[in-house]
Amino acid sequence: MKVVGTQRSQVLASRIAGALGVEMAEVRFSRFPDGEHRLQRGALDRDTVVVGSVMDADSLVQLLLLLDACRESEVRLVVPYLGYARQDRAFREGEPVSARAIAGALGRGMVQAVTVHVHKETVLPYFNAPARNVTLEAAIAGYISGLGLTRPLVLAPDRGALAFARAVASLGGWEAEHLEKTRISGREVRMEAKDLAVKGRDVVMVDDIISTGGTLATAARMLQAEGARGVHAIGVHGVFTGGALDLLRTSGIREIACSDTIESEACRYSAAAAIADALSR
């Protein structure tokens, strides 16, 4: 078995190869004069793990090309971040089911597909291959333990993420709660921990995706106003659109961390071990 990765998933692909105890296959990336993607891969073994996050159209095209270049091998597909997954149904007449379109295009001829914290596991059958979604609660709990915090409160940004926060907190023996929005006026919203006081405590906000950072930044300011000793933000996928990292830093958040499903300066822990475990089963 060998592992290959798209251009923007090289770090995670190499870590997956290390966790599996196998080698990476070389891939050379370039473009044609008109801007179209071009690549050439090196020698493969009978089994190949292809790793590529889908963050935008370029990364999707590159992943499709890499899969085609590996078609002579038995391919196990790893999509650490599956873009378009949030459109998992047609919300209005005439809309595509984007998750179905993307997963269906990627999954043709695959032996196995693995995703990480996909938006909803109901999209997995769209791969038309045995598909498994892995979650990173253990990796996040390990990262929090390494921060050296005393009795941290694990906080979900909303009720929908509370199960995730509780799963993380249970691994460290910590308390978990979710933020609740209270509308004060037409333009003013207050966010606070629903039942637990935060004064004098370290608060760790966890979520699957950090995109614009607006909710976390607002919550951080309010938690500090309520007396939180320190506020930290940990996500799985660090999308960070529109200057989100700068927004989060200026909100007073002490630590901003995400996994390596999307490569950025905020990557502080890895999804490699969880992915390697799923591939080995």
pLDDT digits 0-9 by tens, 231-263: 999 999 999 998 999 999 999 999 999 999 999
Is pLDDT above 90 for 185? no
| CATH, range 2-135+271-280 | 3.40.50.2020
Is pLDDT above 70 for 186? no
The mean pLDDT of 182-197, rounded to a whole number, is: 60
The mean pLDDT of 219-223, rounded to a whole number, is: 90
Q: Taking all residues of the chain, what is their mean pLDDT, rounded to a whole number?
A: 92
Q: What is the pLDDT of residue 168?
A: 97
User: How confident is the model over 74-120, as pLDDT tens digits?
Assistant: 999 999 999 998 888 888 888 889 999 999 999 988 999 999 999 88
How many other C-beta atoms lie within 10 A of the C-beta of residue 46?
Answer: 9
How do the domains of the chain map onto residue ranges?
2-135+271-280, 137-257
Is pLDDT above 60 for 215? yes
Catalytic residue chosen out of the listed positions 2, 120, 181, 199: 181
Distances (CA, A) of 207 to 33, 158, 174, 231, 239: 41, 9, 16, 14, 12
Q: What is the pLDDT of residue 19?
A: 97
Please tell me the distance from the alpha carbon of residue 8 to that of residue 1, in angstroms, as a whole number.
21
Residues present in the chain in total: 281
> 112-116 and 74-79: which strand pairing?
parallel
CATH architecture designation of domain 137-257: 3-Layer(aba) Sandwich (3.40)
Q: What is the pLDDT of residue 184?
A: 56
Please tell me the distance from the alpha carbon of residue 273 to that of residue 139, in angstroms, as a whole number.
9
Domains 2-135+271-280 and 137-257 alike in fold: yes
Q: What is the pLDDT of residue 195?
A: 62
Full-model pTM: 0.91
Q: What is the pLDDT of residue 258?
A: 97
The mean pLDDT of 18-32, rounded to a whole number, is: 96
E strands, the chain, in order: 2-5, 23-24, 27-31, 37-41, 47-51, 74-79, 112-116, 131-134, 153-156, 175-183, 189-193, 202-210, 230-238, 255-257
Is pLDDT above 80 for 191? no
Please tell me the distance from the alpha carbon of residue 38 to that of residue 36, in angstroms, as a whole number.
7
Contact 158, 218 (CB under 8 A): no
Per-residue confidence band for 188, with pLDDT thresholds at 50, 70 and 90: low
**Which of 134-143, 178-187, 213-222, 262-271 has the weakest average pLDDT?**
178-187
Residues in contact with 130: Cβ distance below 8 Å, sequence separation at least 6, in sequence order: 111, 112, 113
Q: Is 181 a catalytic residue?
A: yes
Please tell me the distance from the alpha carbon of residue 238 to that of residue 236, in angstroms, as a whole number.
6
Per-residue confidence band for 197, with pLDDT thresholds at 50, 70 and 90: confident
More confident residue, 235 or 189: 235
Collapse the DSSP code of 134 into the 3-class scheme (helix H, G, I; strand E, B; otherwise coil) and give the result. Answer: strand
